[in-house]
Structure 1
Amino acid sequence: MTTRWPPPGQRFLIDVLLIGLASADVVLNGIDGGYSTRAMTLAIMAVAVLAVRRRFPYLVFAATIPALVVGSAVVAALVALYTVAEQRASRVHIYGCAAVVFVCYTSVWETPYSNASRLLDIVYAILFTGAPLLLGLLMRARAELSAKLVEIDRAHRHEQELIVDKALARERTNLSREMHDVVSHQVSLIAVQAGALQVTAPDEETARTARTIRKLSVQTLDELRDMVGVLRAAGGHPEALDPPPSIDDVDALVANSGVAIDISTDVDPAVTLPAAVQRAIYRVVQEGLTNIAKHAPGAHATLELGVTIQRVQVTLTNNAPNRTPERLPSDRYGLLGLRERADLLGGSLSSGRLADGGYRLSLHIPLAG
C-alpha cells in the first residue's frame, strides 16, 4: 500500500525541501571535512536518488548507505529510512533498514577513541535512526486512518440510502394497500351497479351507457392493479403487468369514452415513436375526453393527430355543452401532470377556453428526426 498523503503539490514541496537539506548536508560536510573524490561521488549519488524515493524506496535506501558509511551524507540516508517506513508495510523490512542505519552510523567496525565516545555514538545513532523511523510510521498510520475514515463515511452513506429505500418501500406498500382498499372497492361497486343496470335497462341507450360504464370500470381496475403491483415492487421488476398504453390504443379509448367525436389523423408510417411519446399522446387524449365528459356533457369533439419526422401534434377541441354539467370533484392535477410529462419530452401543452364556449387541449412534442 502506497500512502496518498499529503496532496501532490505538498509532496513536491516536501521533496524539494528534503533534497535541499540533504544537499546542504553534503556541501557543509565537504567544506569542513575535505572528502575525497570517491566519497563526494557517493554523496552526490545518495542525494540524486532521493528524487525517486517514493517509487523505489528500497533501492534508494540501498544507494544512500555507502555515503553513510564513509560519512559524506547522513541526511540522505535518514530521508531514505523515513521513506521506507512511510511507503512500505513490512515491519521486518522497516526494522531491518533501521538496523542497517544504526550499525553504519555507529561504525561498529572502527575502534572507538574511548568507551564514552562509543556510548555517545550509540545514543546519537538511536536518535538519528528512531526519529525518521517513527515519523515515517506516523505518516503511514495517518494515511491509513484517513483511508479508513473515507471508507467508513462511504459505508455510512450507503447505510443511509438503504434506510431511505426501506422507508420508501414501506410507504409504497402502505400506499398500495390504501389504493386497493379504497379505490378498488369503490370502482368495483360502480362496475357491479353498471352491470346490474345493463341487465335491467328499460331501453337500448341506457343499456349501452351502462355497458360503457362497466367496461371503463373494469379497465380502471386493471390499471389500478398494475399501479399497485408497481408500488409493491419497491423498485424491482413487477411481473405480469400489462404493456403501457400506446398510440394504437387511442381508437379503443375514444370508442369507450361515450363522447361524440370526429378523428382526423395524419401519421407518417415511417416514423417510430418512442414509448414515452406514445404514452404522452394516450394520456392527453384520455385526460381531454375525461374533461369533456365531466365539464361539457353532450358536446361534440374533434381530435386531430399529426405525426411527422419533425414533431407530434395532438389537438382535442370540443364545442359548448348542450346541458348543464354535474358538479364532480376535481383536483386539477390532470393537466398539471400532462404539462410535466410534456416538459420532460421537450414539448409543450396548452389549454384554454374558446370564444364559442368550447375548449381546446393541445400537445406539441418535437422529434429528433
Structure 2
Amino acid sequence: MTDRPWHRRHRVALDVTIAVLFTLVDTVATVLGASWWPERPGTLAWVMLVLQAAACLSLAFRRRAPLAVVTVLGAFTLAVSLLIWPAGALTPADGGQVWAPFSTALAAYGPLFYQGDCRGVRRNRRRAVIALVLFTLVVARPWQPSATIITIGLLRTAVGPLLAMYFDARKRLVQALTERAERAERERHLLAEHARAEERARLAGEMHDVVTHRVSLMALQAGALQMTAEDEATRQAAEELRAAGCQALEELRDLVGILRTEPEGDDRTHRTPSVAGLAELVAESSSVGVPTELIEDGDPALASPVVGRTAYRLVREALTNVRKHAPGARVVVRVSYGEAQVRVAVRNTAPTAVAGGSPLAATGSGLGIPGLRRRIELVHGTLRAGRAPDGGFSIEATLPSYVPTAETAV
C-alpha cells in the first residue's frame, strides 16, 4: 500500500483540493468580469455567485459521480444563460463572454474516464456521450450564434473528453499488455512443469526397462545356480541373491508407481542399444535357461537409429515378460528388414511350469506393453500383442524403416 504514489493513496484529499482551487479561480475570475458578472451586482448576482461556488465544489465528486457533476454545472450554466437572456434579470459587463465557469472543462473529463469506476453508470458510454453533447450545447449557447463563444465553448467541453478517451485507451492498453505478459509467464511456467513431468516419465520408463531386464537376469541366474550348486552354502547364497533380486524388482515397481511413469519414449537416450544388440539379448536369455532363437532377414542397416532402438526395446521387454510369466517356454525372435518397413515378432510357446509359481511373475509394473505401444506409435508403427493358438504369447510390431531425427540429419 505504501508503494503507491501519494495521489493514489489520498484521492479524496486530492479531489477536494482541486475542487476548492477551481472554485476560488472561478469566483475570482467571475468577480473580475471574465464571465457573467454585472457592472452593478445586486442580490441576485451574489446569490448566483454562491450557487456557482457550490456547483464548482461538486468537482470533489467527479470520480464517484461524474455525470452528476456535469449535470450540476450544466444546470447552473443554463440558469445563468436564461437569467441573462431572455429573462434579462442579469446584465453582464461583457456580453461576449462564455457564461460557464472554468470548472466545466474538468467536469467534462469525468464521464468518459471515470464511468468504469462509477457503480450507477455501469459503463454506459452512450449516456455519457448524450450528457456531454447537452452540456456542450448549454456552454456554447447556439441560440445566440457567436463564432467566438461557440469555439470557446466547444474547446472547453471537448478537450476534456478527448483527453479522457486517450488516457482511458492508454490504461486499457497497459492493462491488456500486463495481462498478456502475466499469461505468457504462467504458460511458460506450465510448459516448464510439463517438460519436467515428461522428463521424469521418460527417465522412470528407461529405469523400468533397463533395470528390470538386468535384475530379472540376475534373479534367474541365481535360481539356476541354486539348483546346480553342490554345497549348501552356495545354494543358500544363491537363494539370498535370487530373493534380493525379486525384492529389488518389487521395490522398482513401487517406485515407478510413485513417479506415475508412463513412458513417453522421445528417443533422446542415445545410449540405448540398437538392433546390433539383439544377439546379445538372445544370448542372455538362453544363458538363464530360456531357449531363445534369433532369425534376421534383410540388412539391419536399413533401420534408422530410432527404429533400431525401438525394436531393441520391444525385444527386451518381450524376453523379460517371458522370463516372468512363461517359465520353461521356448522363444523365437524374428526381425525382417525391408526398405519400407521393419517387422519384429517375438513368439513364445506355452509355459511348461506354472507361471504364478515364479517369484518374478509378481514384480511387473504393468506398464511394459502399454509403454511399448506408445513408443511404437510415436514412430508411426503398429503393435499387436495377444495369446497364440498353441497357448503361448505373441508380440508383433511393424515399424517404418526410416524415421528422421536430428542424428540422421548429420
Q: TM-score, normalised by structure 2?
A: 0.49
Match of 2:58 among 46, 49, 55: 49
User: Per-residue deviation at 1:135?
Assistant: 0.7
Q: How does 1:316-355 map to 2 (within 5 A)?
A: none
In structure 2, the partner of 1:79 is 106
Determine helix, strand or coil for the equivalent of 1:36.
helix
Match for 1:168: what amino acid?
R
Q: For residue 15 of structure 1, what is the aligned residue in structure 2?
A: 15
Other structure's SS at 1:60 match: helix
Alpha carbons of structure 1 residues 144 and 208: separation in structure 2 relative to 1, 3 Å: same
Q: What displacement does 1:167 show? A: 1.7
> Which position in structure 2 is the counterpart of 1:107?
141
What is the aligned partner in structure 2 of residue 64 from structure 1?
Answer: 73
Cα distance between partner residues in 1 of 2:166 and 2:178? 18
Look up the SS of the partner of 1:55 in the other structure: coil
* Aligned residue identity for 2:233: E
Aligned 8 A contact 1:85 1:94 in 2: yes
Distance 1:5 1:68 in 2: 35
Please give the residue correspondences for 1:235-250 in structure 2 after superposition, counting only pairs within 5 Å.
Answer: none
Q: Which residue of 2 aligns with 1:135?
A: 163
**Counterpart secondary structure, 2:64:** coil
Report % sequence identity.
32
Question: Within 5 Å, which residues of 2 pair with 1:199-210?
Answer: 199-210=227-238
Q: What amino acid sits opposite 2:235 in the alignment? A: A
Distance 1:143 1:14, change over 3 A: farther
Looking at structure 2, the residues matched to 150 and 181 of structure 1 have their Cα atoms a distance apart, in angstroms, of: 46
Relative to 1, partners in 2 of residues 1:51 and 1:177: Cα closer, same or farther, differing over 3 Å? same
- Cα deviation for residue 59 of structure 1 reads 1.9
Deviates more, 1:10-19 or 1:50-59: 10-19
User: How much has 1:121 moved relative to structure 2?
Assistant: 1.5
Asked if 2 retains the 8 angstrom alpha-carbon contact of 1:198 and 1:208, the reply is yes
Root-mean-square deviation over aligned CA pairs: 2.9
Q: Deviations over 1:229-270 (max 9, x none)?
A: 344458xxxxxxxxxxxxxxxxxxxxxxxxxxxxxxxxxxxx
Query: Residues of 1 paired with 2:226 and 2:168: CA distance?
Result: 83
Rounded Cα–Cα distance in structure 2 between residues aligned with 1:6 and 1:140: 21
Larger radius of gyration: 2
Q: CA deviation at 1:5?
A: 11
* Deviation of the 1:6 alpha carbon: 10
What is the distance in 2 between the residues matched to 1:59 and 1:178?
Answer: 72
- From 85, 98, 101, the counterpart of 2:132: 98
Q: C-alpha deviations, 1:327-364, integer Å up to 9, x for none?
A: xxxxxxxxxxxxxxxxxxxxxxxxxxxxxxxxxxxxxx
Contact 2:108 2:158 (C-alpha < 8 Å) held by counterparts? no
Q: Which segment drifts farther, 18-27 or 143-152?
A: 18-27
Q: 2:149: which partner in 1?
A: 121
CA–CA separation in structure 2 for the residues paired with 1:233 and 1:181: 12
Quote the Cα distance in structure 1 between the aligned partners of 2:184 and 2:5.
23
The Cα of 1:57 is off from its aligned counterpart by 1.8
Alpha-carbon distance, 1:164 to partner = 0.9
1:170 correspondence with 2:198: yes
Deviation at 1:53, TM superposition (A): 1.8
Q: Determine the structure 1 residue equivalent to 2:313.
A: none
Could you tell me how far 1:16 is from its partner in structure 2?
5.5
The answer to whether the Cα contact below 8 Å between 1:45 and 1:64 also exists between their aligned partners in 2 is: no
Quote how far apart the aligned CAs of 1:173 are. 2.7
Cα pair 1:19 1:50 within 8 Å, conserved? yes
1:14 is displaced (CA, Å) by: 5.7
How many residues were matched structurally?
225
Q: 2: CA distance between counterparts of 1:27 and 1:81?
A: 19
- 1:67 is displaced (CA, Å) by 2.8
The counterpart of 1:187, out of the listed 215, 219, 222, is 215
CA contact (8 A) 1:5 1:143 kept: no
Is the Cα contact below 8 Å between 1:187 and 1:217 reproduced in 2?
yes
Structure 1: any 5+ residue segments left out of the alignment? 235-369
Deviates more, 1:9-18 or 1:200-209: 9-18
TM-score w.r.t. the length of structure 1 is 0.54
Question: Match of 2:31?
Answer: 31
Evaluate the alpha carbon distance shift between residue 30 and residue 13 of structure 1 in structure 2; reply closer, same or farther with a 3 A threshold.
same
Distance 1:122 1:73, change over 3 A: closer
Question: Quick one: distance in 1 between partners of 2:181 and 2:161?
Answer: 30
Shift of 1:25: 2.9
